[in-house]
Structures are given as C-alpha cells and as structure tokens.
Amino acid sequence: MSSPEVDAVIIGSGPAGSTAADVLTAAGWSVVVLEKGRNHLLSLDAPYVPLGHVSNDEIKFMRRHFLGPDPFLEPRTYRRHDTDGDRLFSGDVNNLPSTVGGGGFHADGKLPRFRAVDFKTHSELGPIDGADVADWPFEYDEMEPYYTEAENLVGVAGKAGANPFAEWRSGEYPMPPGADMYGAVLTTEAAERLGYHPYAAPTGVNSVPYDGRPACNNCGFCAFYGCPIEAKGDPVAPLRRALRTGRCDVRPESYVTEILLDATGKRARGVRYLDTNMTPQEVSADVVVLAGGAFESPRLLLRCGVGNSSGLVGRYLMFHFQTLVVASFPFRLHAHKGRAVTHLHDDHMIPDDDSRAFAREHDLPYFRAGIVEHGGAGFPILESVHLPPGEWHSKLMLESPMRDRLLAFTVQGEDVPQITNRIDLDPKIKDVYGEAAGRATYNLHPHELVASKYYAPKLEEVMRAAGAEWTIVAHSPPIEGEGAAGALGEASASKHIMGTLRMGTDPTTSVVDPMQRLWDVPNVVCTDSSVFPTSTGYGPTLTLVALAIRACRDLANLPPLRSDRSSTA
Amino acid sequence: MPGTSSPRFLTQREHAITAAAADRLIPPIDGHPGGAALGVADYIDGLLGAFTFDPPRIWAGGPFSGRAGGDASFEQFFELSRLEELAWRTRIEGSLGMPEREFNGPVRGWQQWYREGLGALGDDFDAVDADEQDRRLDADPAFKKLFYEQACEGAYGAPEYGGNRDLAGWHAIQFPGDVQPRGYTDDEVSQP
C-alpha cells in the first residue's frame, strides 16, 4: 500500500489531465496520472512513440468499444425528469473514450475559442426564466494568452481573421488550415451567397509537420477514431511533453474509488484506487487534480461525499443541443476523405433584431444557437444498419443515399444552465468495480427548442442553395413528443458535456472558486469542463485546456500569462 | 479464417442457415454480392467463436492492414485485459450464473441467442422459398435486428474479421476501405 509521495495526483488523462500534467511537470512538480482505461496512445517509456494500436477499422472503433468505456462494464443511466422513475435506460450515455488520452483521443479536434460575450452572458444579454445564466468570474482579455498558449501547445491549424465574429487574438495560428472537404466547398459557397460567414475550422490536426508529428494525410477515419499517424495534437502533445520531464508517471487501468481527506476534512491527502488487478492502492499527494470529465468528476465527488456543501455537485449539467440539418445531393460527395468537419460558421450565435422578435413571440428575451459544423456522412456499416434489410438493402447500398450523398449541418446549440439537469448516482445500477453508476437527469429548456426552430429552416435554405435535392431536420436529444428517438438515441449525442461543478465567486452558489479549487477542499482542483458556468455554442475543449493552463500555473506559483491587445493578429 | 470449412461455434447446418438468412437480408443483385458470398456466416461464426482463437478475435491489430502500404498488422488481434475479456465473454457466452458477470443481473449471450434463433428458422430454412424465409425471419424481430446488424458488419467491415470476402463488399459500394498510411491528397479531398 505504499506509493511514493508526489506533488500532484491527477485523475484522468484526457485533455484536462494531460494539460495539468504538462504544466505542472514543466514547473518542476512530480505527478501521477491515474487513468481508468487502457493505454492505446503512446509508449510510456522513452522515447514515447505511438503504440500502433489505432487503425482505420469501423468494427473496432464504432461497433466494439475499443476505446471504451464498455457499456457493460461501466453503464450509465438516463432519464428526462425525476418523474420518469429511476431511469429510462442504462448503457451508453454521452460516452467519451475511457483510455489514455480520454475524450481528446477520438475527437476530430475542432478547437474554436469563445468570444468575449460568452464570459458575460448574464450582464450583456440578461437572464432567462427557468435557467441560471451566469457570467464567468473572468473575461476574454484575461483568457487570451491562455488560449494562445493552448493553441501553440496542442498545435492548432487555422487562419486569423477568417471568422469575422472571432475575438481579437495576439498572434496567428501556429499552422495554416488543412484541406477543405469537397462537401464543405459547396456548403460554404452557398452560405456566403446567403450572407453567412463560414470559415476554416480551427483544428488541432497538423496541416504541416509540427511538434515532431507529421501532417494529416486525410485518411478520413477521424471523428470517433484515433489518429494512426498522430497528426492530432490533443492530448498526445501535452502528455508526451510531461513524460519527457521524467516527472510524470502515467498509470493506466487505475480506477479511483475515493479522494482521501485528512482529519480536518478540509484537505485532501491523496486518492485510493484499484489497480489493474483490482487491488486497492493509494497515492499520497499535496494536490489532487480532478480531470475525469463533466460526467465522471461529479460522480466521484458524490460517491465519496467531497466538495458538496453547496448541494450543487452534479447540477447545471449541460450538453450542446444538436440540430442536424441533413441534405441529400444528386451526386457523390466522398465525405470519407479528409477530416470529418472542415468548416464552421458562427452567425447563428449572434442575436439580431429578427431573432429577438422571434424570441419574444416565444416568451424569451433572446436565444443563441451555436457553431454550425459543415460535415459529411459516415461509414459503410453505419449506413447499412440504417437501411432496411431485404430487397432494398443491396440496391440502396449501391446508390449510397446516406454515406456518399448526404451533407449535414450540425448545430452545437447553447444549452442554458438549469439546476434540475444533473448527474447523480443511480440507486441500483453498478459498474464492474461495484460503484454506483452515474445517472443523467436532463431535459431541454425552451431556449434550445426555440433557437433550433428559428435557425433550422435557414440552414435548410443553405443546403438547397448548395444543390441539395431534399433536406430533413433531426435533433439530439430528440424533442419530447416528436416520436421515436431514431438513430441518435434517446440521450444527447453531443459529446460536449459541461457544468456539474460550477465555477463562481460565491461558495453557496458554486462548487469551485475562480481558480477551479473546490471551495470545501481547496487542494482539489478541477481542470475539466465541469467548471463551466455556461455552455456557449462552441466546443469546450480548447477553453478547458486554456483554463487548465491558467489554474495549474497558479497552483505552481507561476505568474499569470499576459498578452498585448496592440499586437492583435 | 475466411472461407473456413470448419466453423468455430456454429454447426455446419447452422452455418448454412446463417448464410441463407444473410442472403435474404443482404440479397445478391447485379453488382452487389449477397450476404452468403460476402462471408457473413464466417464473420458471425468468428464472432461467436472469438474465444476459440488466441488472442480472441475481438479487436484487429494496427496500425495498417497492408492494403494501402505499410506492414499488414490487422491480422494480429489484440490481447484483452481481464475486464475486457469479462465483458466480451459475457456478451458472447452469456452470464451463465457467474456472479462476476451478473453485477447488474443475468445476461443472455449471443451464442444462446443464435442457437435458439437459427433453430427457430428451421432446419429446412435454406430449402424453403423466399416468402417463407421472410416470414420466419420476421417472426422474431429482436433476433432479426441482431442478426442484421452483425450481417452488415460482416458484409462491410474489415476482412480480417472473417467477412467482406475478397473485399467484395467495399468494391460493390465504391468504398476504398482503410487507406493508411497512404491517405488522400489535398486535391482528392477538395475536388469533386
């Protein structure tokens, strides 16, 4: 039961934990990173080369849970309302990979920044009934140098000025954008004709060799797969840097069961975990970094009763409400080539007079949707299981109405924070370690529904202008009362999950302080997207990495980063 | 493994019924082989008998198949961790009353499901006409759904898992399959 004393024990090895490991080891700290999943990312021995486990294999990644978590071993449960009974179902609920590298492993790496208004939604746009819209405890200008640092560390390809709505930035992206997918060439041209402002998505995928890793070769097995040639920077780049210091000990297949407190109950002294043989082990540390993601981090705190004097642990769960505008084209689009999404536009996050009028008709002061991802369809097994068996199967597979002829706009719609949306512990379902499964209780606010209703027809118009023969609109999670859940399932299909350990300046209305320390146990620091007070309409990863850099520099007594607006790129 | 004449889990008769059923769900037409010719029965048998291989036939290796350059490494399947073996044995064999497989209750395994499902299709399934085959397949929608999804995996998945014989599934639908380490040029991505 004896482990070496370390400066920090980090729970989770995704973008949040890997960034913490990188920043802390660079500052001279020793860290242990505990990851419940297996290691498929890189050798943990010098020179930390790729393991070669990742491949262009639809069965392995999309049908057989290669990156975990296996829903049999680690079920999650889901319901919409408290009145639904204990759960509507058990299984895969917003599962992100459980493996060394975490959620960063499978993402196609779109890494946009937030805008200034996203940090002050309450003061700039105002409250919304039935939600707790809040300002963040700091502003964009303070975040800018951390965004720059994050983009450089991960390696983000993009172009300053391409998005007219983007905030000021102190430098150019470290790489130019990669290849435009053919479908997005069509949809961006159409969107521009209709007055929108699409731009090459800032993406953590190398467009040129960077940081000792090669340029992306456009294999197409991108979102939901790992990268076989490690052209994706997140989280292999920070983790490798941490390992190279010799002060980072990554332990895969290590499942944390408890955060251990000292006799005062106000200070963590380490963690207890089950090792790969299910044998209990402990690591003692001066600081515990909680980086399990916005589903698992609150689940762990609730299981061990830590950090919850506010009663808010797990609350304000937010996903992005996805509106999918799917369009069929009379020719092949070969979306299996290249990255999964190459373009975005932000226009639908900007309230204007028309959208405010529509909002008022629906008893809302305003609404915002989110980034619109210009993307293509999937792979052959995915297409085939959604076609009917029998006579039509083979005819349709020859034509490929979905895989090769569909384009989709996916709107990552802002999800306003509701105190009733939450992660808690399922009263009956357990994981293979014998611990209570996490349960999501999650229902949409009218804000999300009205925003979708307003913007979806506009996006269908863009698709028709791009040459689509027909369009349909789908939502995830499905809108209650609008029929069966369909291909995307009952729970939210968005892999963006936020909230659950709300950051704020008042310990009675938040769980962590502005440096992401638990109010109750300040040497426990959460570096994942649990701390987000609001969800905005942007993917969370770059912001959580920037926040992790900020919080961990503070931990290590390094001076805050500064940037100079006069050097705007 | 592909085209094997000695099934790993299915009996020869069950294998023949599986192939016939696969041909009803994925019928042969001009330009597209049927499920039988694509090796769906071998794929399903390889899944049901995954633990008769060492390492078990759950996850093909990486990073490359050799079809687009590099060394062929898909054929070297992964070793499973103890927990991964628990999950996949439970899924395939069922929980069989073992407490470590029943932490959330009993699980019916695919082996039992197929044995009963193929039995219900009838020993003469491959001899009756198409309408009768459809009637029997439709009699158990849950089994038909399981079978169909796994038939699709067998038809259009990587051939190292036993199906997609001679890459005929990918060729029929104009899908190039895995392309690492060659990939595509920027022009191939951006141009029509």
Reported ipTM: the value is 0.98
For residue B170, list chain A residues with Cβ-Cβ distance below 8 A. Answer: 380
Instruction: Name the nearest CA neighbour of A323 among A367, A373, A360, A379.
Output: A373
Using the predicted structure, report yes or no on whether residue A2 has a pLDDT greater than 80: no
Does residue A185 belong to the interface with chain B, where contact is any CB pair within 8 Å?
yes
Using the predicted structure, report yes or no on whether residue A487 has a pLDDT greater than 70: no
Does residue B28 belong to the interface with chain A, where contact is any CB pair within 8 Å?
yes
pLDDT at position A569: 72
For residue A337, list chain B residues with Cβ-Cβ distance below 8 A. Answer: 184, 188-189
pLDDT at position A484: 63
pLDDT at position A407: 96
Residue type, A532: F
- Minimal Cβ distance to B183: which of A217, A277, A397: A217
H-type alpha helices, A32-164:
58, 102-106, 121-125, 140-154
Are the beta carbons of A327 and A460 closer than 8 angstroms? yes
Q: Which residue of A has its CA nearest to B178?
A: A56
* Extended beta strands in A44-164, E state: 76-79, 89-91
The pTM of this model reads: 0.97
pLDDT higher at A461 or A391: A461
- Residue percentage of chain A with pLDDT more than 90: 92
Residue A514 Cα distances to A124, A331, A418, A446, A460, angstroms: 20, 52, 20, 29, 41
Q: Does residue A341 sit in helix, strand or coil? A: strand
Look over chain A and give the mean of its residue pLDDT values, rounded to a whole number: 95
Residue with tokens 């306003």: A416
Using the predicted structure, report yes or no on whether residue A277 has a pLDDT greater than 90: yes
CA–CA distance, A119 with A560 (Å, rounded to integer): 19
Residue type, A114: F
Answer whether A59 sits within 8 Å of B153, measured CB to CB. yes
pLDDT higher at A224 or A384: A384
Using the predicted structure, report yes or no on whether residue A4 has a pLDDT greater than 70: no
For residue A334, list chain B residues with Cβ-Cβ distance below 8 A. Answer: 188
List, for residues B35-68, the tens digit of each pLDDT value: 999 999 999 999 999 999 999 999 999 999 999 9
* Extended beta strands in A219-335, E state: 248-251, 255-261, 268-274, 280-290, 318-319, 321-328
pLDDT higher at A156 or A3: A156
Does residue A336 belong to the interface with chain B, where contact is any CB pair within 8 Å?
yes
List, for residues A283-318, the tens digit of each pLDDT value: 999 999 999 999 999 999 999 999 999 999 999 999
CA–CA distance, A270 with A80 (Å, rounded to integer): 35
- Minimal Cβ distance to B104: which of A229, A390, A430: A430
Answer whether A394 sits within 8 Å of B90, measured CB to CB. no
Compute how many other C-beta atoms are within 10 angstroms of the C-beta atom of residue A63.
Answer: 18
Cα-Cα end-to-end distance for chain A: 53
Using the predicted structure, report yes or no on whether residue B78 has a pLDDT greater than 80: yes
Are the beta carbons of B165 and B37 closer than 8 angstroms? yes
| Mean pLDDT, residues A456-478 taken together | 96
Instruction: Name the nearest CA neighbour of B51 among B14, B91, B11.
Output: B91
CA–CA distance, A281 with A187 (Å, rounded to integer): 54
CA–CA distance, A398 with A297 (Å, rounded to integer): 46
Answer whether A430 sits within 8 Å of B180, measured CB to CB. no
Residues with Cβ within 8 Å of residue A207, at least 6 apart in sequence = A157, A175, A176, A177, A178, A179, A215, A216
Are the beta carbons of B55 and B78 closer than 8 angstroms? yes
pLDDT at position A3: 52
For residue B65, list chain A residues with Cβ-Cβ distance below 8 A. Answer: 55-56
Using the predicted structure, report yes or no on whether residue B1 has a pLDDT greater than 70: no
Nearest-Cα distance to chain B for A41, in Å, is 12
Residue B2's pLDDT band (cuts 50, 70, 90):
very low
Instruction: Name the nearest CA neighbour of B94 among B42, B140, B48.
Output: B48
| Mean pLDDT, residues A221-238 taken together | 92
Does residue B81 belong to the interface with chain A, where contact is any CB pair within 8 Å?
yes
Nearest-Cα distance to chain A for B171, in Å, is 10
pLDDT at position A489: 78
pLDDT at position A505: 98
Answer whether B152 sits within 8 Å of A384, measured CB to CB. yes
Kindly write down the DSSP assignment for every residue of B32-94, as one continuous string: B--TTTTTHHHHHHHHHTGGGSSS-TTS---S--BBBBS---TTSPPPPPHHHHHHHHHHHH-
Using the predicted structure, report yes or no on whether residue A462 has a pLDDT greater than 90: yes
Answer whether B178 sits within 8 Å of A404, measured CB to CB. no
List, for residues A8-56, the tens digit of each pLDDT value: 999 999 999 999 999 999 999 999 999 999 999 999 999 999 999 999 9
Are the beta carbons of A114 and A147 closer than 8 angstroms? no
Look over chain B and give the mean of its residue pLDDT values, rounded to a whole number: 96
